[in-house]
Amino acid sequence: MDFNTLTELTKSRIKIKVSRHNKTESFAEDVLLGLSACKKTLSPKYLYDEIGSQLFEKICDLPEYYPTRTERRIIERNISEIISVCSPETELVELGSGSSTKTRLIIEAFLKKYHRLNYIPIDISRSILVESARFLQKKYPKIHISGLVSDYIKALNYLTNHHHDHKMIIFLGSSIGNFATDESLVFLEKIRKSLAPSDMLLIGMDLVKSESILIPAYDDIQGVTAKFNLNLLVRINRELGGRFDLDKFRHRAIFNKAQSRVEMHIVSIQKQTVRVDYFDREFNFEQGETIHTENSHKYSPLSITQMAERTGFEVVNCWYDENKWFSLNLMKPA
């Protein structure tokens, strides 16, 4: 088995399993590869350490950051339809669960209708998942929680081998947009292969809109998103002995129209050399050179349908907000 159980958290209705792998070694390998590349890059999954996860929770409450509140309104208005496709045996599996704030709407509706629920939150942040599991179990005594501290791929492999049919996989927040185009298709195919014919996928996807709305959502006036992005350098300093001076770097968000995505970058404001003790080496930065840290692709209704068809899904239903800024899509294996 690829997971260890946190025995101190195992109760009658809470069980947390942690993926077996050397997190520092994995982080180091990816940082070395990313900083050594011709165009420097770091994986967005490393934004979500304990501090990063807390900062992202703050981002979700910002007035500029529309995705969270917009998706929440869509769920609130259509919760009856969403739950109608479930049965009492349906397990809710959430990818990137975080604090499970929006998912609580689904959990409450499910428990109201069926009075019991197996919920499987999956998140890379152990602290956030554990805190959320404890809160949910206290608030909803009839919920059974089997959390996985893991990346998505390992978690999906585990679920394929250890959980029965009748799953609804929940992937909210347009997190699919963080993948490159080809990677998103591969990932959706991976989800599809983990599903039985009776299973469902509920996935939130952000839609294309004006740059005047998009850019502030990823570069807020309070600087919370900047702190979230630059926390990656703080993490390298803390975990790998990096010597990044944060005063010499800036956050930048741009809209890449050709790729239909918002990009987040960390920009070097001067020519400089940064040492990372873990690797016993230095990395050179030109003035204006960036580390590309995250993409957030934006979709059209047509592109969503095409993605579903290319990855073996059929779109059962789509729900939108009144501005058509965001879509919540229910899919099943084709």
Strands, DSSP E only, in 269-312? 272-276, 281-285, 290-297
How far apart are alpha carbons 84 and 81 in whole angstroms?
A: 5
Q: Which two tokens stand for residue 177?
A: 């947009």
What is the pLDDT, as a whole number, of residue 1? 45
Distances in Å between the Cα of 146 and the Cα atoms of 10, 90, 199, 267, 302 are 9, 14, 18, 40, 36
Q: Which residues of 91-109 are buried (b: 16+ CB within 10 A; e: fewer)?
A: bbbbbbbbbbebbbbbbbb
Q: Which two tokens stand for residue 156?
A: 């999906």
**Residue in 258, 237, 252 with CA at minimum distance from that of residue 293:** 252
Cβ contact 311:185 at 8 Å: yes
**Residue in 90, 84, 143, 155 with CA at minimum distance from that of residue 115:** 143
Q: What number is the average pLDDT over the span 71-82? A: 97
pLDDT band at 163, cuts 50/70/90? Answer: low
Half-sphere CA count of 64, side-chain side, radius 13 A: 17
First to last CA, the chain: 31
- In the chain, residues under CATH classification 3.40.50.150 are 3-20+64-210+298-333
| Domain 3-20+64-210+298-333: CATH superfamily, name plus number | Vaccinia Virus protein VP39 (3.40.50.150)
The CB density around residue 286, as the number of other CB atoms within 10 Å, is: 10
How far apart are alpha carbons 117 and 108 in whole angstroms?
A: 10
Over the stretch 81-131, which tens digit does the pLDDT of each residue have?
999 999 999 999 999 988 888 999 999 999 999 999 999 999 888 888 888
pLDDT band at 302, cuts 50/70/90? Answer: very high
How far apart are alpha carbons 127 and 147 in whole angstroms?
A: 12
Q: Is the pLDDT of residue 290 over 60?
A: yes
pTM listed for this prediction: 0.91
Over the stretch 1-51, which tens digit does the pLDDT of each residue have?
465 665 445 555 788 888 766 566 789 999 999 999 999 999 999 999 889
Q: Is the pLDDT of residue 137 over 50?
A: yes
